[in-house]
A and B are shown apart, each in its own frame.
Chain A
């Protein structure tokens, strides 16, 4: 994950009024890290937590938590949907219905985007608050060709982090990758640098190892289903779960800048925390 430029501190040194025009300005970017965390107790979300309730360890070093927000920041929901040839008939209908259900459940300040992938990766609808446009794009999508799953997931990640807000990427696929240029390892690496949370739905008898790793590394969840009849319920469950997550931010201190940072998020009261296991900084 790339540290998120949460705050930009600008120092303006004012010498005197007459010198303002030539006054040197210095800017320093303080890079903060954002972590989406779901806190549950016996399966039920724990609500109402504040900064004081969280402990964050970055590579084992305790960090000062700056901010915890809940349901305050609009969502960027990116749907990255497999539109290969096998997505047809009932499966396509269920997918459209599920997408439509999810879009209807968004708040007016939320944004949504639609990425589709077969062998071709397409931005069918860019991030927008106009959910009708996204719904329309979903209605036009048809299954054709083979499956560039990793390329499609990569595009979803990049679109997800292209705007401020909390990014949720939902990947749907009913097949395994056959034509992507990017390897799973490279996309996993991108996900480690990103703060997008990935949920995925894998349909069929394949072993979705890539999606399992992608969702696990970003703190999301993989749903493996045999049929798509309940897809709407799954999409809604994903959205609801994501809304119940806390967004925690902190400015790393006492740790090396680059490389893999192991993250451990805890709560001081009873509860289980689900969050990304770490992030990758530097090139």
Chain B
């Protein structure tokens, strides 16, 4: 079995102030970024992705500020005063550029929006200052706008940064604790085998993608309205699923998604799963070993508090889509964790009535067994565990549960016999023969399909 490596984002308790000193290099980087966004083939680690991934976390934080300004200028090219606010920062940061840099970033925004004929862009002679690649970007953005979508750069930028976060290995950098930088800071905690191994700072690519998509506006609209955009919805669904499938947990991502899509059943479901994972022993064990550095807050709560959050989100997901049987299943398990055994049993029966997938049925039966055992309904528990064992004969968990049920009843021989059946199972080595071992990632098993659906419309023509 591969070693489980979890990543969690800590939230900076303080807020940054000020901005790194700008240079020509800074505007050059903005240009390189715009070209990379245009050239990137979604779902690949092409040269564009490699280039952007090579920039440091601090470079990306500074670029996040400049890209934020670009997005503001794309909507209002005459704008000259800017303020940006990173996630979790309490106040906006004023951003000021020297005149030369301001002119340059205005011209770049004209290209990014495909509005070189806008009077403000003509005034600053934007077109004349752009090279062939940037003119091509302008043409593509203009064509997209004419086709009804005025979000060319924003969508492709979000895809690029998501791809870098997902596809490009990032070993991270030592955590910068200066707190003097604008832009978001992303801290990752590596854990393995239930132990926290350490912190690193990562480039904030996910924050970058979220920021860009926050500017998406519908056809004909004048204000950002990402909540009415299907691509934005799919971006959040697919990337959140990917994070859970790869155990790269990030509560912020789903918090943000719910702000935009408060009643989306899939996003509510993944939010609930996220907190269910946090309530589980791998994460709780790791967090107990993790010293949180001064100046940071962990958004991680006790197992019971996490279960309560999961319960709330599962309830909302089911309200949004009552036919979501997997939500009923997991809701039942969470209710069991909260010691609401009768409710758990009802919910699990509801789930089992409509689930056809064998792995999902297996989960339903073992959870039902646990809930019945907790209510001292030993025979009902035994039957449920027995059905689970029939569904997955190679799985050890139902046999161990049956052994414990026997031992609890004073039947030492029965306990040993059931355990012997576990010992007699073929050695599975790295093979995950017990679905229980995959429970904390299996909710996101459709992540790759969702990502493919997200990327397909943006692939360059062959």
A residues with a Cβ closer than 8 A to B are 2, 84-86, 118-123, 144-147, 151, 154-155, 158-159, 161-162, 174-182, 186, 189-190, 193, 204-207, 282-283
Contact = CB atoms under 8 A, between A and B. Distances in A.
Interface string B229-261: 000000000000000000000000000000000
B430 interface: yes
Interface stretch (B103-111, B144-152, B153-161, B401-409): B401-409
Given A178-B281, A283-B409, A123 B288 contact: no
A155 B419 contact: yes
18 contacts: A119-B434, A119-B437, A120-B427, A121-B396, A123-B420, A146-B4, A154-B400, A155-B400, A158-B415, A159-B416, A174-B193, A176-B285, A178-B282, A186-B404, A193-B410, A206-B194, A206-B285, A283-B409
B407 A190 contact: yes
Report whether over half of chain B's contact residues are helix, strand or loop; otherwise say mixed. Answer: helix
B412 A2 contact: yes
Contacts of B366: 181
A182 B404 contact: yes
Given A177-B194, A178-B4, A121 B289 contact: no
Contacts of B407: 158, 190, 193
A181 B1 contact: no
B3 A146 contact: yes
B81 interface: no
Contact of B400 (A151, A177, A282): A151
Contacts of B101: none
Interface of B: 1, 3-4, 192-195, 281-282, 285-286, 288-289, 366, 378, 396-397, 400-401, 403-404, 407-410, 412, 415-416, 419-420, 422-423, 427-430, 432, 434, 436-437
B195 A175 contact: yes
Given A162-B416, A176-B193, 20 more contacts: A85-B3, A85-B192, A86-B193, A119-B437, A120-B427, A121-B423, A145-B1, A145-B430, A154-B404, A155-B419, A159-B419, A178-B4, A178-B193, A179-B281, A181-B397, A186-B404, A193-B410, A206-B288, A206-B289, A283-B408
B400 A182 contact: yes
Contacts of B432: 119
B454 to A, nearest CB: 31
A205 B437 CA distance: 24
**Most chain B CB within a 10 A radius of its CB, from A122, A162, A176:** A176
A119 B401 CA distance: 15
Nearest to A209: B288
B412 A84 contact: no
Contact of B404 (A2, A122, A179, A190): A190
A148 B96 CA distance: 55
**Most chain A CB within a 10 A radius of its CB, from B288, B407, B428:** B407
**Most chain B CB within a 10 A radius of its CB, from A158, A159, A162, A174:** A158
Contacts of B401: 181-182
Nearest to A162: B416
Contacts of A176: 193-195, 281, 285-286, 288-289
Nearest to A282: B410
Nearest to B288: A207
B224 to A, nearest CB: 42
B400 A283 contact: no
Contacts of A154: 400, 403-404
Contacts of A155: 400, 419, 422
**Most chain B CB within a 10 A radius of its CB, from A2, A85, A118, A181:** A181
B422 A147 contact: no
Contact of A119 (B1, B192, B419): B1
Nearest to B291: A205
A182 B78 CA distance: 64
A205 B416 CA distance: 34
A122 B423 contact: yes
**Most chain A CB within a 10 A radius of its CB, from B192, B281, B403, B430:** B281
A48 B419 CA distance: 39
Contacts of B436: 179, 181
B1 A86 contact: no
B281 A180 contact: yes
A178 B412 CA distance: 27
Nearest to A86: B193
Contact of B430 (A144, A162, A178, A181): A144
B428 A175 contact: no
